[in-house]
């Protein structure tokens, strides 16, 4: 990969900005929380990949990624890792706590209302 084709970490997004990109199909939401956190509740359109299993190759390359965790800490680390590998990636500021606080949906795997654990 040439230096010109490498990208850096994109600006953090608030939940509203993230939801708009996701609604337009312009990004992928990647939840890096642990399995028990995911099971309690996640954004309906999210893909799950715990931080400990994260590799740049496991992440979609066709669109920017929005990394999310509970509070924005672990997803910030994920965003740094992906950006260092040349991926276009945002961090969701405030994580799933901010997502839920903004009134955006949180569901379980069976589509029932979920909680942020």
Does domain 3-101 fall under CATH 3.40.250.10? My reply is: yes
56 is a catalytic site residue: no
In terms of DSSP H, where are the helices of the chain? 15-23, 35-40, 73-84, 95-101
pTM of the full structure: 0.93
Whether the per-residue pLDDT at 6 is higher than 80: the answer is no
Token pair for residue 114?
Answer: 């979920």
* Alpha carbons 7 and 113: distance in angstroms, whole number: 37
Tokens 């309906």 -> residue: 44
Q: What is the mean pLDDT of residues 68-82?
A: 97
> pLDDT tens digits for 61-74?
999 999 999 999 99
Return the domain boundaries, the chain: 3-101
* Alpha carbons 25 and 5: distance in angstroms, whole number: 23
Distance of CA 29 to the CA centre of its chain: 4
Q: Which of 27, 43, 69, 96 is catalytic?
A: 69
Whether the per-residue pLDDT at 5 is higher than 90: the answer is no
* Alpha carbons 42 and 30: distance in angstroms, whole number: 10
Mean pLDDT of the chain: 93
């Amino acid at each position: 990969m040439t230096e010109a084709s490498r990208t850096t970490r994109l600006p953090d997004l608030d939940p509203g900005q993230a939801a708009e990109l996701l609604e337009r199909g312009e990004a992928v939401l990647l939840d890096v929380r642990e399995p028990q956190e995911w099971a309690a509740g996640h954004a309906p359109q999210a893909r799950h990949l715990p931080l400990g299993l994260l590799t740049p190759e496991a992440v979609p390359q066709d669109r920017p990624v929005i990394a999310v965790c509970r509070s924005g800490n672990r997803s910030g680390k994920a965003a740094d890792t992906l950006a260092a590998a040349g991926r276009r990636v945002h961090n969701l500021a405030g994580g799933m706590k901010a997502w839920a606080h903004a009134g955006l949906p949180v569901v379980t795997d069976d589509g029932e209302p979920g909680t942020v654990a």
